[in-house]
Amino acid sequence: MTATPGPIAIPEVAATDVVAKPEQWLNADAPWVARGLTSDWPAVQAAKQSNTAFFDYLLGFYNDKKVSAFLGEPEIGGRFFYNEDLSGFNFVQLDTTLKQLAEKLEALSAIDHPPSLYMGSTNLDHWLPGLSEAHQLRLPLPSALVSLWLGNHSIVAPHFDYPANIACCIAGVRRFTLFPPDQVANLYVGPWDLTPAGQPISLVDIKHPDLEKYPRFEEALSLAVSADLQPGDAIYIPSLWWHQVESLAEVNGLINFWWTQQPPALGSPMDAFTHALLSIKQLPRAEREAWHALFDYYVFSESAADRDYWPTNRADRTRLIEDPLARQLRAELTNHLRR
């Protein structure tokens, strides 16, 4: 049996081009990597000195509020995942301080086959005020949510985020493996109401896939792309692209930026998805197909031509939705959901 080729390399773009043409690269449909985009960041420079210098720099901004972390036994191999029957997880969640986390990561770095310790998305403005100001991207990211991630060897299974994402390695090595959104049916997604960190994840161990159990994953793997990030490198992940993130060094750090070009008044597509599950999923097949046609024509297609035959002074809620109409639609939804 012929082995399925592994992921191909994510295309790279010069950091200077990203800064010079942000409107092009921040609206790209596919991922890209910019080497050295953040190489001048103070945290990156500190990490190049030593792990101690890196943690000392971060702790200089820390306000002593408790942080949340995951801890897994050495046997999980860094793969934070479910238990055998998907009733829980193979790790424990604990509240600690960033100082204690840093001390533990330094201690574990000297141990062969240590436990896996991982702190996920931690908002800089809430826990490390001032750090985001010292680590600007020089890119127009409207109302970006900026977060810090720390840990030793770890694997975060393929998942998606709604906002677009630029993730910047500041310490260690991060390997990103991405799958296009249309591969969702081939990723064998786990429960949506029981997730390791808030987002549904693929059940496939993509490093050692069981293609007898998950045969469709072979197609997803053939379309996967991957890149290893060193300190100072950045990756752009378009909205809804599935991505696995591996931390490959004894100490790894990352700062990421989530943002959307969507005006806040238009709301979140995830809310629409949830509402569709509630109100459409259980309809008879013929009705679902009828709604499918309406959605295709008015939401997903750009060829709806009804407006071409109307008087020019007629409003059209199915085409250009600006702030006044957006607020009207939100008010209608709110009133309907209260019934």
Q: How far lies 334's CA from each of 111, 177, 271, 280, in Å?
A: 55, 39, 12, 18
Q: Is 193 exposed, middle or buried (0-12, 13-18, 19+ CB in 10 A)?
A: exposed
**Do residue 132 and residue 242 come from a single domain?**
yes
| 174: nearest Cα among 256, 257, 252 | 252
Per-residue confidence band for 336, with pLDDT thresholds at 50, 70 and 90: confident
Sequential DSSP letters for 195-243: -SSSS--B-S-TTS--TTTSTTHHHHHHT-EEEEE-TT-EEEE-TT-EE
Give the least confident one: 34-43, 103-112, 273-282, 323-332.
323-332
pLDDT in tens, 303-321: 888 878 888 777 777 777 8
Share of the chain above pLDDT 70, in %: 99
DSSP secondary structure code for residue 276 in this structure: H
Give pLDDT tens digits for 26-82. Answer: 999 999 999 999 999 999 999 999 999 999 999 999 999 999 999 999 999 999 999
pLDDT in tens, 108-160: 999 999 999 999 999 999 999 999 999 999 899 999 999 999 999 999 999 99
For the segment 218-232, the average pLDDT, to the nearest whole number, is 98
Q: Tokens 């792309």: give the residue.
A: 225
DSSP 3-state of 173: coil
Look at residues 243, 259, 275 and tell me which one is the last residue of a structural domain.
259
303 shares a domain with 159: no
| Residue 221 included in any domain | yes
Q: Identify the pLDDT of residue 315.
A: 75
pLDDT in tens, 17-27: 999 999 999 99
* CA distances from residue 98 to 76, 196, 250, 293 in whole angstroms, order as listed: 23, 21, 17, 51
Give the predicted TM-score (pTM) of the model.
0.93
Do 145 and 91 reside in the same domain of the chain? Answer: yes
Q: Is the confidence at residue 103, as pLDDT, over 60? A: yes
Residues 161 and 290 occupy one common structural domain: no
Q: Token pair of 66, please?
A: 């408790």
Domain that holds residue 232: 8-259
The DSSP bridge pattern shows strands 154-159 and 242-247 to be: antiparallel
DSSP string spanning 19-83?
HH-HHHHTT-SS-EEETTTTTT-HHHHHHHH-HHHHHHHHHTT-----EEEEEE-GGGTTEE-B-
